[in-house]
A and B are shown apart, each in its own frame.
Chain A
Amino acid sequence: MARTSSIQNKMMLLVLIPLLVWLGAFELVPVLRMIAMSFQNNDGQGFTLGQYVKGLTNPLYGKAMLNSLKISFISSVAGLIIALVCSYSITRFTTKLRDRMIMISNMITNFVGVPLAFAYMILLGSNGMLTLIGKELGIRSIAGFDLYSEAGLTLTYIYYQVPMAILLVYPLYNGIREEWKEAAAMLGASVWSFWRHIGIPVLLPGVLGTFSILMANALGAYATAYALTGSNYNLLSIRISALVSGDIFPNFQLGSALAVILAVIMIASLVINEWMASLSRRRGL
């Protein structure tokens, strides 16, 4: 009996080998190489913290970090607010409509990168459909909208943050039980009092967790921003790309250090998410 079980375990490990090879070759080795390179000098030799010092003190990269954080923060907050309202309204639909809305959100979540940038160019580019309509109708805010600016970039970020936020926030509303609302009403609470004292506190850990995922999602975004602004807008992901592939003076070591800094920021977001989730689990939410 024990022998059969041991053979079964070995067979299971055998099945895992392709996955382990894949993870090692395309995840672990590149990450380890990147970390190792981030501690090397520009010639790829020795051990130095110089790349990190440069990454954190150089105004160009400092500004890139700030821009990345700013655009990620604004798009995450806006996306989250829109998703909170939309998800709540989805919970009020019929099951059939609800399933369709979630399916559409799922689909839109994957509509990112160059196709998304192209779609926005068609709509709000210099000769975009909405831009031309705005010009025709004399609506200056639309006619004069610059898609290739920070505002344009924020708009596209919000666009892809919303469906992802809906997918993450929608299940949270299922956790709000109708009996809580009824019990609160029986105890003298208004609808607002219910949300203030019960609904929002119950949702909050999940909402903050969602926010951290959105932040990580936006911080790592590259293709949409690059397709829209090239390297004209200073984002950390674009700077890393320029250092490892696009610059006439590539510096893999500095690029690696910036990538590690970006990864640390994203991991910090995810750690906050896990902490919030464990807080919820402890309270049985």
Chain B
Amino acid sequence: MARIIVVTSGKGGVGKTTTSAAIAMGLAKRGHKTAVIDFDVGLRNLDLIMGCERRVVYDFVNVINGEASLNQALIRDKNCNLLYILPASQTRDKDALTLEGVGRILEELSKDFQYIVCDSPAGIEKGAYLALYYADDAFVVTNPEVSSVRDSDRMLGILASKSRRAERNEEPVKEYLLLTRYDPSRVKSGEMLGLDDVQDILSLQLLGIIPESKSVLTASNSGIPVILDEKSEAGQAYEDVVARYLGEDRPHRFIEDKKGFFRKLFGGKS
């Protein structure tokens, strides 16, 4: 059975698609057959970030409607042959997705893949709900900024009450925090929320801090997931995220005030 990961945030523009692309690539590079699905029907982006936009023939909605088979719609990544992309439809809207249809596709993918990464659209409407409904794990992408933190908190509430695991009273969706676009110098000057401020509100297991980095934009524009840019801090940070998710114990990086941070994270009960 595959593990279904939803990358979600509530708020837009925080780095969900960048994160989805990076961690899907990271998992596949480590030898796990991985599929990444774009749930943002109507605002298709993932294929751009993955650099496969010119190879899209069929999409998610075609498969749901039975107009194409899953194999026809899945696009194999050019950098890693264990990674497949299921693009969103650009010409439809979120109403084209159905709970039953999404469930059917995830079930079919589960037979063949080890990890399924669901790239959620922003908001808390149908697309976001469908993306998280079947999830086993949730990567909550948050920017160090109050509205993003509030939206993430709201999303966590939805995960805890509306997911399939919640409905069936199963073990809850495992929630992880990814703090993206983090700028330690701005945190220090008080312009940005610090990790501890964010954790004060969210108190989640931290998978990683992705520093604000020019390489993210460069990677997006060139259609190569930033995790493949091993020289960049963001790429390394995502590499750490994947390693931690898979159970490796790696110290957190890219936080300037390391000492203070570790004391807050590991010292004493909050």
Partners in one complex: no
B residues with CB within 8 A of A: none
A residues with CB within 8 A of B: none
